[in-house]
Amino acid sequence: MRRVIITIAVLFGSPVWALTYMGPPASDVKQGELLLGFDYSNGELDFEFRDDGVRGILDDVDSDLYLGKVGLGLSDGFEVFGRVGVGEIEELGNEFAWGLGTRATFIEKDDISWGALFQFTSLCAEETGYLGGYLLNGDFDVYEYQLAIGPTFNHNGSSVYFGPFFHFIDGDADFVNVGSVDIEQESEFGVYVGVLWKLADNSSLNLEFQGTDDAEVVGISLVHKFGGPSKP
């Protein structure tokens, strides 16, 4: 079966196929704290694929991503988390999405924390339907990897963060009259910035923007912390 390379050119970042909400690169969790949250993103994208004279465009594919999040502080400033939910894809409906990640603070001085995060996100569709005008033949799997590093500036429980990041996409899809195609990103490097507001002692709301040469996304997240060490 013919295999061609499909590259992604994003008009307004898909949360799964292009970029996914990340959050601050540094972690402020305490050992034993449990994190419960919810992440939402909306996006629109184009696909372009070509090889040996074969060329096609998937125009303006819309998607919404809804992910519940559970995290745990393994030690002060070091957390792991998992996410599960659905991706609502134009013309395909709701599809299962999930992911895993970790975040850690490695330098903390005064009101500035330096940290790094890594996360993995997956979206899989197993049905027949149209995607960007092309007939999908029951198989669409995409896996995204993101790595970010940078500072977080804290003030009275709220914070601003920014930094560079890398993202890599690996996947495949089967299209009728096209065949099996490989999926990958066009740009691996980008920058992002976010603002986190303290809503209560253990609750926060976060707004974030990410961008590369070929993708951009806006994400929103709500997180609440439970447990942790007892206060004296």
Classify residue 210: in a domain, yes or no.
yes
pTM for the whole thing?
0.81
Classify residue 31: in a domain, yes or no.
yes
Inter-residue contact 170 to 155 (CB < 8 Å): no
**Rounded distance between C-alpha atoms, residue 167 and residue 147, angstroms:** 6
Classify residue 66: in a domain, yes or no.
yes
Number of domains in the chain: 1
- Of 193, 169, 208, the closest CA to residue 10 belongs to 169
Q: Where are the alpha helices (DSSP H) in the chain?
A: none
Please report the pLDDT score of residue 65 as a whole number: 81
DSSP secondary structure letters along 142-164: EEEEEEEEEEEEEETTEEEEEEE
| Token representation of residue 16 | 């799964």
Classify residue 153: in a domain, yes or no.
yes
**Rounded distance between C-alpha atoms, residue 67 and residue 220, angstroms:** 11
CATH number of residue 60's parent domain? 2.40.160.20
**Rounded distance between C-alpha atoms, residue 16 and residue 72, angstroms:** 23
Classify residue 232: in a domain, yes or no.
no
Per-residue pLDDT of the chain (232 residues; tens, 9 = 90+): 444 444 433 333 333 345 789 999 999 999 999 999 999 887 655 555 545 555 555 555 566 788 999 999 999 999 999 999 987 766 666 678 899 999 999 999 999 999 999 999 888 777 666 665 666 666 677 788 999 999 999 988 899 999 999 988 777 777 666 667 676 666 788 999 999 999 988 899 999 998 887 777 889 999 999 986 654 4
Per-position b or e across 199-226, b if 16+ CB within 10 A of its CB: eeeeebebebbbbbebbbbbbebebebe
**Structural domain boundaries, residue 186:** 3-227
Please report the pLDDT score of residue 5 as a whole number: 43
